[in-house]
């Protein structure tokens, strides 16, 4: 208890000395802290960017749905033997019906429903307004079951409307905003490729997929209506919802078997379709993400390292200047630990000041980025603040340790004689 | 080491010693036996102490004298537990100091020894009060208690009205008084003063020596290292070093 109290008093005394020392050498402290400030700003912004990318990535993947398998002609990700894929038969709408029939006939199937989606890029008009590059696609009423998206207003077309091929559509949030600014889009008339459609719903805002594709820039209509307007040789795929996403691999196996039956493939034939899932994206993008993170942190870490050398240098100078004071303190009963603590706290204090200022600068930069480029994936969080402060403290301890250790080991006789 | 005849001491100045008292010696504090100290300076080996024996009792007022190079600084560092002997024994209050670790020595210095330096050695950016508090911080005293003790120590040396001044706002004599208060604040077994008047003019130096006399009479044990006879005359006992050996050890008579 007594030892603890003494440690506490020594600690308070060390903080007091550190502040007096920093105040007495303002210019020197500021210049030294500058190195740490730059380091912390760099590391923090890099951390922010990495985290932003990560979050954006995960949000995007969530949009794909973690319980949905995609049956497509091509696998996601690069293929080297493209000639093995290019001649595969396209996914046909009839495949969906056959697949659903197989699913329906399979007891305890892990697959719930297959929904065909056929789409293409197009422009959408409403009166004099026009938006380009909209992903227009047709699908069945079952789309509601595979897409967890909410509705800003209205609803999806129902079985009846889909079956009848009614000319109705649901707009993505941004499309609705652009064509019907500040008013309800419900009941509004739009044209796609010259065909009139009536708006019966608007999706809630979803965001972008990896910054490449916006889920808010789409228009969905009944597949039967879509087939009347467009050739179905565009992008077509099947989306298959699984019943239990913890058994995704088994579901995938079942789906492969079902698709092979749909396609009438012989046992020794290779699959002429691909089953894609969000996990495939993750597997591909994870190494890239890791590489970016490592490279970024390494480069920014260098600037922090330079800052740490500055701290080490200034602590060496401080020890040298105050050798006599160290001798006096030792004569008065300061232990090695006391002296070590004193100089460590001095180094850590400068680092903490640098860290706090750096944090402020990083936050300002972050706000600037967010203001200028709202879509750029940066994220600032409280734990980032905590991590930065921790990094500052650790930097201070590491860089201050060698000089502080040297100071604590000084021979009091030699130190007292030092002029 | 036989005491030299009193006749060999130069006659003392009359005024100072008129009320001079000598307190009877108390228990043994310092017991040094056959202590040597070697320094290696490059190729050369310097014998700073070559077998010193010395006993100091509580309530003594002793001067250590000798020319530079005589080993008196080394002896003082040894007595102050700043340094350990190359060979020989040193017992402080019955505890063997020669084999102590750095931190144990620090603890002895903190509790048992009060240092007064020639160059005062005050912390420049701290107030007189905080300077005096310092040994108490290292002793682990709570803030209120140590402030009170430091205040008393400063009042005792006549600086009750200068407690919140920094060293550069004090005269040389006042600085040395702060240092003396700092040496006294932990109620140490001995006060060890190394040329305490060396950086002061003779009048101020004399005032400081009178303060030491007063402290002695209040019941402290004092060892003063000096090369000035005038200073040594304040002590009751004087030892003289020469070439790493005690050349003489005698009582100083008024």
- Give residue A185's pLDDT: 86
Band (pLDDT 50/70/90 cuts) for residue B6 is very low
Establish if A1 touches chain B: CB-CB under 8 angstroms: no
Q: Considering only residues 398 to 417 of chain A, which have any Cβ-Cβ distance to chain B shorter than 8 Å?
A: 411-413, 416
**Partners of residue A330 in chain B, C-beta under 8 Å:** 82, 106, 109
* Number of neighbours of residue A75 by Cβ within 10 angstroms: 14
Chain B contact present for A336, CB below 8 A: yes
Give every CB contact of residue B164 below 8 A, 6+ residues apart in sequence: B127, B128, B129
Lowest mean pLDDT among A273-287, B75-89, B177-191: A273-287
Q: Answer whether B98's CB lies under 8 Å from B173's CB.
A: no
List the one residue out of B181, B177, B123, B133 whose CA is nearest residue B153.
B181
DSSP annotation of A200 reads E
Radius of gyration of chain A (CA): 32
Burial class (CB in 10 A: 0-12, 13-18, 19+), A385: middle
Q: Is B105 left (phi over 0), alpha (psi -120 to 50) or beta?
A: alpha
- Which secondary structure element, helix H or strand E, spans residue A124, and what is its range? strand A111-126
Sign of CA dihedral B76, B226, B233, B7: positive
Name the closest residue on chain A to residue B109, using Cα atoms. Answer: A333
Backbone angles phi, psi at A159, to 5 degrees: -55, -45
**Mean pLDDT, range B122-139, rounded to an integer:** 94
In A, minimum Cα distance to B113 occurs at A332
Q: Taking Cα atoms as reference points, which of B110, B53, B101 lies closest to residue B80?
A: B110
**Of B123, B67, B252, B108, the residue nearest B190 (C-alpha):** B108
Confidence band of B159 (pLDDT split at 50, 70, 90):
very high
Q: Which of B83, B106, B182 sits opposite A334 (nearest CB)?
A: B106
Under an 8 A CB cutoff, do B140 and A416 touch?
Answer: no
Chain B positions in Cβ-Cβ contact with residue A411 (cut-off 8 Å) = 83
Give pLDDT tens digits for B18-46. Answer: 467 888 888 999 999 999 999 888 888 88
Q: Which of B128, B120, B113 is nearest to B187 (CA)?
A: B113
List residues bridging with A230 in a β-sheet: none
Ramachandran area for residue A194 (φ above 0: left; ψ -120 to 50: alpha; else beta): left
Coil, helix or strand for B151?
helix
Model pLDDT, residue A341: 93
Q: Which residue has the tokens 């008196």?
A: B72
- pLDDT tops 90 at residue B108: yes
Mean pLDDT by 10 residues, chain A (419 residues): 85 91 91 91 84 76 79 82 84 85 87 88 87 89 82 87 87 90 88 89 80 80 86 76 85 90 87 84 79 86 91 94 94 94 94 92 88 75 85 92 95 90
User: What residues of A are in contact with residue B123 (Cβ under 8 Å)?
Assistant: 325, 328
The fraction of chain B above a pLDDT of 90, given in percent, is: 76
Question: How is residue A296 written in tokens?
Answer: 């970024």
Distance CA A142, CA B50 (A): 103
Phi, psi (rounded to 5 degrees) for A125: -120, 150
- Cβ-based neighbour number of residue A314 at 10 Å: 23
Report pTM: 0.73
Give residues with Cβ within 8 angstroms of A81, minimum separation 6: none
What whole-number distance in Å separates Cα of residue B67 and Cα of residue A324?
24
Are residues B83 and A416, on separate chains, in Cβ contact within 8 Å?
no
Cβ contact, residue pair A331, B82, below 8 Å:
yes
Report the 10 Å Cβ neighbour count for A167.
Answer: 17
Interface residues of B toward A, Cβ cutoff 8 Å, are 77, 80, 82-83, 102-103, 106-107, 109-111, 115, 117, 121, 123, 125-126, 134-135, 137-143, 182, 186
Residue B236, number of CB atoms within 10 A of its CB: 20
| Shortest Cα–Cα distance, A335 to chain B (Å) | 5
- Which positions in chain A touch B82 (Cβ < 8 Å)? 330-331, 412-413, 416
Tell me which chain B residue has its CA closest to the CA of residue A1: B140
Q: Across residues B204-218, what is the average pLDDT?
A: 94
Q: What is the DSSP string of A60-106?
A: HHHHH-TTEEEEESS-SS--S-THHHHTSPPP-HHHHHHHHHHHHHS
| pLDDT at residue B245 in the model | 94
- pLDDT, position B7: 46
Alpha helices in A234-335 (DSSP H): 248-263, 278-321, 323-331
Task: Give me B113's structure tokens.
Answer: 């020894």
What is the separation of C-alpha A313 from the centre of its chain, rounded to a whole number of angstroms? 38
Helix extents (H) in A106-194: 143-146, 159-164, 173-179
Output the furthest CA–CA distance in chain B (Å, rounded). Answer: 54
Sort out which chain B residues have CB atoms less than 8 A from A327's CB and list them.
Answer: 121
Q: Is A317 helix (H, G, I), strand (E, B) or coil?
A: helix
The Cβ-side half-sphere exposure at B147, using a 13 Å CA radius, reads 6
The predicted model gives B190-196 an average pLDDT of 95
- Yes or no: say if B80 and B109 are a contact pair by the CB < 8 Å rule: yes
Tell me if B157 sits within 8 A of B183, measured CB to CB. no
Residue B106 CA to residue B102 CA, distance in Å, equals: 6
- CB atoms < 10 A from the CB of B5, how many? 8
Asked if the C-beta of A239 comes within 8 angstroms of chain B's C-beta atoms, the answer is no
Does B138 sit within 8 Å of A338, measured CB to CB?
yes
pLDDT band at residue B190 using 50, 70 and 90 as cut-offs: very high
Is B138:B102 a contact under the CB 8 Å cutoff? no
Across the range B47-60, mean pLDDT stands at 93
**How far out from the chain centre does Cα B45 lie?**
28
Which position has the token pair 């005032």? B207
Say which residues have a Cβ less than 8 Å from residue A139's Cβ, sequence separation at least 6: A115, A116, A117, A118, A220, A222, A223
CA distances from A208 to A153, A216, A279 (A): 20, 7, 18
Alpha carbon of A102 to those of A73, A114, A117: distances in Å? 20, 10, 19
Residue B17 has pLDDT above 70, yes or no: no
Is B140's CB within 8 Å of A2's CB? yes
Of chain A, the end-to-end C-alpha distance in Å amounts to 38
DSSP state of B69: T
């Amino acid at each position: 208890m007594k030892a603890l109290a003494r440690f506490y008093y020594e600690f308070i005394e060390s903080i007091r000395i550190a502040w007096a020392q920093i105040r007495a050498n303002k210019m020197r402290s500021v210049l030294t802290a500058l190195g740490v400030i730059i380091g912390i700003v760099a590391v923090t912004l890099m951390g922010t960017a990495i985290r932003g990318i990560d979050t954006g990535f995960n949000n995007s993947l969530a949009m794909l749905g973690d319980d949905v398998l995609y049956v497509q002609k091509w696998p996601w990700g690069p293929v080297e033997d493209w000639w093995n894929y290019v001649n595969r038969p396209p996914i046909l709408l009839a495949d969906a019906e056959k697949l659903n029939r197989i699913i329906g006939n399979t007891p305890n199937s892990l697959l719930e429903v297959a929904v065909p989606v056929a789409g293409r890029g197009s422009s959408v008009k409403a009166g004099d307004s026009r938006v380009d590059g909209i992903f227009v696609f047709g699908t069945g009423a079952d789309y509601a079951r595979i897409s967890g998206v909410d509705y800003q207003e209205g609803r999806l077309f129902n079985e009846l409307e889909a079956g009848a091929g009614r000319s109705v559509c649901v707009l993505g949030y941004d499309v609705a905003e652009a064509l019907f600014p500040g008013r309800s889009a419900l009941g509004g008339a739009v044209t796609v490729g010259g065909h009139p459609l009536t708006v019966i719903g608007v999706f809630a805002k979803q965001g972008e997929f990896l910054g490449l594709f916006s889920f808010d820039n789409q228009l969905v209509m009944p597949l039967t209506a879509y087939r009347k307007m467009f050739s179905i040789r565009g992008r077509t795929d099947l989306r298959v919802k699984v019943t239990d996403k913890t058994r995704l691999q088994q579901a995938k196996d079942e789906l492969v078997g079902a698709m092979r039956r749909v396609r009438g493939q012989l046992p020794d034939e290779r699959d002429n379709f691909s089953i894609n899932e969000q996990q495939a994206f993750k597997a591909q993008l994870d190494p890239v993400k890791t590489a970016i993170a490592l490279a970024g942190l390494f480069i920014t870490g260098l600037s922090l390292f330079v800052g740490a050398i500055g701290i080490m240098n200034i602590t060496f100078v401080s020890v040298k200047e105050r050798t006599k004071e160290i001798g006096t303190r030792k004569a008065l009963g300061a232990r090695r630990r006391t002296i070590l603590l004193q100089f460590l706290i001095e180094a850590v204090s400068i680092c903490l000041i640098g860290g706090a200022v750096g944090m402020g600068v990083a936050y300002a930069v972050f706000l600037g980025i967010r203001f200028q480029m709202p879509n750029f994936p940066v994220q600032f969080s409280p734990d980032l603040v905590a991590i930065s402060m921790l990094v500052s403290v650790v930097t201070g301890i590491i860089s201050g340790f060698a000089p502080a250790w040297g100071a604590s080991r000084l021979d009091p006789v030699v130190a007292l004689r030092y002029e | 080491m036989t005491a030299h005849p009193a006749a060999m001491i130069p006659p003392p100045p009359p005024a100072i010693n008129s009320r001079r008292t000598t307190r009877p010696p108390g228990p043994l504090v310092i017991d040094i036996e056959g202590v040597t100290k070697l320094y290696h300076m490059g190729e050369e080996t310097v014998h700073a102490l070559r077998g010193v024996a010395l006993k100091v009792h509580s309530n003594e007022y002793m001067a250590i004298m000798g020319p530079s190079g005589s080993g008196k600084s080394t002896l003082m560092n040894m007595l102050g537990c700043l340094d350990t002997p190359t060979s020989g024994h040193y017992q402080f209050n019955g505890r063997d100091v020669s084999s102590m670790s750095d931190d144990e020595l620090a603890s002895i210095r903190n509790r048992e020894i009060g240092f007064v330096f020639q160059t005062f050695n005050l912390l420049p950016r701290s107030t007189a009060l905080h300077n005096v508090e310092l040994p108490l911080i290292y002793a682990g005293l709570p803030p209120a208690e140590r402030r009170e003790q430091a205040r008393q120590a400063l009042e005792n040396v006549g600086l009750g009205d200068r407690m919140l001044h920094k060293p550069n706002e004090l005269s040389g004599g006042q600085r040395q008084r702060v240092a003396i208060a700092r040496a006294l604040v932990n109620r140490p077994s001995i006060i060890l003063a190394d040329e305490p008047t060396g950086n002061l003019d003779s009048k101020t130096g004399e005032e400081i020596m009178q303060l030491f006399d007063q402290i002695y009479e209040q019941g402290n044990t004092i060892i003063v290292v000096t090369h000035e006879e005038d200073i040594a005359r304040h002590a009751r006992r004087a030892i003289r070093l020469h070439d790493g050996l005690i050349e003489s050890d005698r009582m100083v008579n008024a």
